Amino acid sequence: MTGEAFKGFGSKAIPFLKALDFHQSREWFLENRDLFEKELRDPLGDLVDTLTQRFAEAGLGLRGDRKKSLFRINRDVRFAKDKRPYNRHLSAILSPDGTKMEQGVFFVHIGLDRCFAGVAWWQPAPELLTAMRKAIASHPDTFRAVVAALRKNGLELDAEGGMKRTPRGFEEVADKDLVAAIRNRHFAVRHAIDPAGIHGPELVEELVDFTLRAKPLLDWGRAIEGKTAKD
C-alpha cells in the first residue's frame, strides 16, 4: 500500500488487539492478517508519513518511514520468560535520521493498556548521558529553564526509572531537583492519547501540538549532543 494522508485507525483496531491478545496464536493471526493491516499497520504507516511531512514543515527535525519506523507486532521471546508471541500494542518511532538507532526521538504507542506519544532521549549511550548530567550540574539555570518551559507547555519530565544513588562524579550536587535529574537514566515527556480519539485525522494535529510543546527538551539534548560529537 502506498502512503496516504492519515485518516485514522480503523474502528476494529483495538478489538483486533484484544482478540490477538486472547488467542496469542500464529494461526489466528495469519487468518486475520488482512484485518491487522487494514485497521492498524497501514494506518500507522500513514501516520508516520503524515507526521514526517508535518514535522518537516514545523522544523522539528524528526522523520520516519512507513516500513522502517514501525515496530513488529511479534514479540522477541528468545530470552523472555513470557513466551506469548504477540505484543498488546503497535508502535513506531520518528528520529533525526529516520532510523531507530538515533536519540532525541518521537514515539507513538497504540495499545490495549494505553495509547500515548513521547519525545525522549531514552537510555542514551554512556558518553551522552554523562554529558547531559554534566550539563545539568554545570549549567543548572539552563536546565531549569527547560523544565520551566516544559511545565508552561503542560509537560513534566518522566521521573520513573531513576537511579537510587547519585552517580559517581556528581556527589557535590546538592539541590534536590538537580540531584533527581542527574539520577535519571533517560529524559522524556509523554502525552496520553484518548483511545477514542485515534480513529480520525485530528490525531495528527494533537501529536504535532504535543511535539512542538516538547521542543525545549529536543533543543536542550541536541545542543549537548552536538558538543559531545565535536569533542
- Give the pLDDT of residue 1: 41
Q: Of the candidates 34, 39, 40, 47, which has an alpha carbon nearest to the alpha carbon of residue 3? A: 47
Instruction: Give 227's pLDDT tier (boundaries 50, 70, 90).
Output: confident
Mean pLDDT of 112-137: 96
The residue with cell 509523554 is 190
Q: What is the pTM of this model?
A: 0.94
Looking at residue 104, its pLDDT comes to 97
Q: How far is CA 74 from CA 41, 98, 199, in A?
A: 13, 21, 23
Question: Per-residue confidence at 78, pLDDT binned at 50, 70, 90?
Answer: confident
Which residue, 197, 196, 204, 170, is CA-closest to 184?
170
pLDDT band per the 50, 70, 90 thresholds, residue 231: low
What is the CA 199 to chain-centroid distance, rounded?
A: 20
Instruction: Confirm if 166 and 178 have CB atoms less than 8 A apart.
Output: no
Least reliable range by pLDDT among 9-18, 76-85, 220-229: 76-85
Query: Of 41, 24, 18, which is closest to residue 86 (Cα–Cα)?
Result: 24
Query: pLDDT band at 160, cuts 50/70/90?
Result: confident
User: What's the CA angle centered on 20, arms 203 and 82, to 5 degrees?
Assistant: 110
Q: For the residues 101-111, what does the mean pLDDT come to? A: 96
Percentage, residues of the chain above pLDDT 70: 97
Q: Across the strands, what pairs with 89? A: 111
3-class secondary structure per residue, 128-166: HHHHHHHHHHHCHHHHHHHHHHHHHCCCCCCCCCCCCCC
Could you give the 3-state DSSP secondary structure of residue 34?
helix
CA distance 108 to 91: 6
Q: Which positions ≥6 away from 140 have C-beta within 8 Å?
A: 175, 178
pLDDT at 81: 82
Distance between alpha carbon 128 and the CA centroid of its chain, in Å?
A: 18
Rounded Cα distance, 13 and 198, in Å: 9
Residue percentage of the chain with pLDDT more than 90: 89
13-230 has which fold?
Answer: BirA Bifunctional Protein; domain 2 (3.30.930)
Distance CA 229, CA 206 (A): 33
Residue 53 CA from chain centroid, whole number:
18
Task: Give the up-direction half-sphere exposure of residue 51: CA atoms within 13 A in the CB hemisphere.
Answer: 37
Over residues 148-172, mean pLDDT: 94
> Taking 90 as the threshold, does the pLDDT of residue 193 lie above it?
yes
